[in-house]
Amino acid sequence: MTCACLAVLATGCGGSSRTHAAESHSSNARPTDPGCKKEGIRYTGKTASGVRVCFTLGNDGRTWLELGYLFVHKKGCPGSLWTYDSTPHEGSGPGFLIFVNFCQGTRFQWTARAKGPLPREALAALGPTATDTCRKPGIHYVGKSTKGDLEVCLTLRRDRSALDEAGWIFEPEAGCKDAAVGGISPLDVDAAGHFEDPDTISGRIQGAQALGELSDLFNCPSKTFTWSARRIG
């Protein structure tokens, strides 16, 4: 069966809300892939309920070249449904997909990550990452929280005596302020690799790995994140 459904894409990184028709298919064959195949910056991800999502951006990071989503059987929705839209749309960022005809207007919040490095022009368009936040010379570490809702970066002095800077960025699913935080007073690193700022970040650096905890009372009160990071470069 082939039919059309109404999809509303509400972008979250400076884009504007858009409405467009997307071709959808429901079949006993039950496809296993959302179907993104165009050349560009490929993202893949899913909703909390397991709906698979893919999309491809142009190398400028501002144009959606294609968008696909694959439903599985969930309460209030059909058995298996695959929707693919190959019409380019300007605007970029994470957002929401609303399927009025098929899921009674159910709103699905999804997250997705790029499958490869982003071109420089796309990085400029899509906003800061933890890698951008830590820029001082030294030994650099980049990582994430256990749940993936926080990016962390560290810059360790070459002699490993102190941490010169740390930075973090909250992902939307963290439920915190949309903030990129960078810069701390240098923190001593002891012989075992421990460092601590009682107001924000603490942890241990051991070889190519680092791990610790982060609390940001201003941007994310009442939450503590456990993170791990690896040396880059």
**Per-residue pLDDT tens over the stretch 58-83:** 887 778 888 888 876 655 565 557 77
Q: Which sequence spans correspond to the domains of the chain?
A: 2-118, 130-232
**Per-residue pLDDT tens over the stretch 125-141:** 665 566 667 888 999 99
CATH code given to domain 130-232: 2.40.128
**Mean pLDDT of all residues in 157-186:** 85
**Per-residue pLDDT tens over the stretch 180-232:** 787 788 999 999 999 999 889 999 999 999 999 999 988 888 899 999 999 98
Q: Which helix (H) or strand (E) holds 100?
A: helix 100-103
Rounded to two decimals, the pTM is 0.51
User: Does residue 103 or residue 93 have the better pLDDT?
Assistant: 103
Name every residue whose Cβ is closer than 8 Å to that of residue 184 and which is 6 or more positions away in sequence: 163, 165, 166, 197, 200, 201
**Per-residue pLDDT tens over the stretch 16-55:** 333 333 455 544 555 677 889 999 988 888 776 677 888 8
d(CA 34, CA 53): 6
